[in-house]
Amino acid sequence: MARRNGTGATSKRLRKTWWGYPRENGDVGARNYLLLLSGTLYANPTCERVARTLRHSVALTHPLGRCQIGPDIQRTFETLVGHGQNANAGAVIVIDHHREEGCTADEIAHEIAKTGKRVEAINIREDGGAIDATAKATRIGMEMLRELTNERRQEVSLSKLLLGLNCGTSDTTSGLSHNKATGWVTDQVVKLGGRALLAETTEMMGGEDVLAAKCVRPALGKRIWRMVEEMEERILACGVDLRGSQPTGDNMEGGLTTIEEKSLGAIQKAGSAPIVDVIPWAKRANRRSGLHVMDTPGHGGESITGIAAGGSQVLIFSTGGGHTINHPLMSTIRITGNPLSARLQADTTDVDVTDIFEGAPIEVAGRRVYDEVLDVASGKMTKAEILHEDNAFAINRIGPSV
């Protein structure tokens, strides 16, 4: 039986299993949601209406899917597919509006169906307009939920966990406390055969050598160097000083002086695990145990959206300033070691690791975070999940609207 460790009390031995929903393709969900996935902005209200009607469903909406070109529309498409494929979605209804280009509900549903999960596509115009499409999706969704809610969690190994790692509103406490505790958790998850996913390319600037040294192949290290270089080239092409945007105003208020300082704190989340792959934004991570690295911007919402599309079921969001950030589909655990933030943002802080500054070893705080990760993966809701703080589905863009 799963031990429910809500108090955060630590036992000598780390738990090696968690309880989730096994999927046909071998993935395991930490949640069993019905996902209402919008293919285009004009389908957003229909998705939201259906999700409001159906208990235990989640809507993912966005302003995109129209008048985008080339790699930009491809990126939107892959992001939507990645979310439909994420194991936290037990079944999916994709809704689009009329005739979309390169991002239709049918095409998205076709890719999601490859996981073996049940998926339906609805077109608002073909299905008789906003009200009839809502009714159709509601009926299909209700039947899907009857099946989903009849499934039971099963005990699975850590190898089935892809733990997302992201930090935000960083300050000087980040590199000293919560990112270090996160790094400790990364190491344990990887030692037990699991995977972790590090992201935020902007915050690798200045720490490339440290990350490259962790790579299992020199070619991966080169990819990290190249990825950071490309990010820096895009910044330089804007002709402005990065400072003020990175580090952000709140980073500087928190004592971080330069992007290099922010980066060296951020990469503490990697722990000492080997880097086994480096992947583009929103690409599905392969199954190899170890630390995977994804090319994402420093923008918190976009970065964790990329991570969710990569397949993460649970994410540690490690924050200096405290945060409300929460992905609607991927359970997001917020932790902080900053005593002031732990007090001011207690409403959305799931794990307090401020005892590090009172002399507690990193391992003591790390164990508390580890237990929370396994509890949340097994069904415990995070504070922001309970509060419906569904603020962090944000698709990254690489082209103009046309």
User: Where do contacts with other proteins occur on this chain (CB under 8 A)?
Assistant: 171-173, 175-176, 205-207, 209-210, 232, 235-243, 246, 252, 254-255, 257-261, 264-265, 338, 340, 357, 359
Give least dist CB 235 to other proteins, A: 5
Q: Which two tokens stand for residue 2?
A: 């799963």
CB of 367: closest distance to other proteins in angstroms? 18
CB of 269 to other proteins, least distance (A): 14
User: Rounded to an integer, what distance in angstroms lies between the CA atom of residue 35 and that of residue 16?
Assistant: 29
**Residue 142 or 340: which CB sits closer to other proteins?**
340
Please tell me the distance from the alpha carbon of residue 270 to that of residue 3, in angstroms, as a whole number. Answer: 27
- Strand 28-29 relative to strand 162-168: parallel, antiparallel, unpaired? unpaired
Please say which residue, 140 or 235, places its beta carbon nearer to other proteins: 235
Nearer to other proteins, 219 or 237 (CB): 237
160/262 with CB nearer other proteins:
262
Strand partners, 291: 196, 275
Task: Please state the closest distance from residue 130 (CB atom) to other proteins, in A.
Answer: 46
Considering beta carbons, is residue 218 or 239 the nearer one to other proteins? 239
DSSP H helices, 310-361, are 339-344
Q: How far apart are CA 171 and CA 320, in angstroms?
A: 5
**Shortest approach of other proteins to residue 242 CB, angstroms?**
3
Please give the C-alpha separations between residue 320 and each of 69, 141, 176, 250, 334, in angstroms, as whole numbers.
38, 40, 10, 10, 10
CB of 92 or CB of 205, closer to other proteins: 205
Task: Look at residues 345, 359, 353 and name the one whose alpha carbon lies nearest to residue 387.
Answer: 345
Spatial distance between the Cα atoms of 222 and 293, rounded to a whole number of angstroms: 13
CB of 183 to other proteins, least distance (A): 13
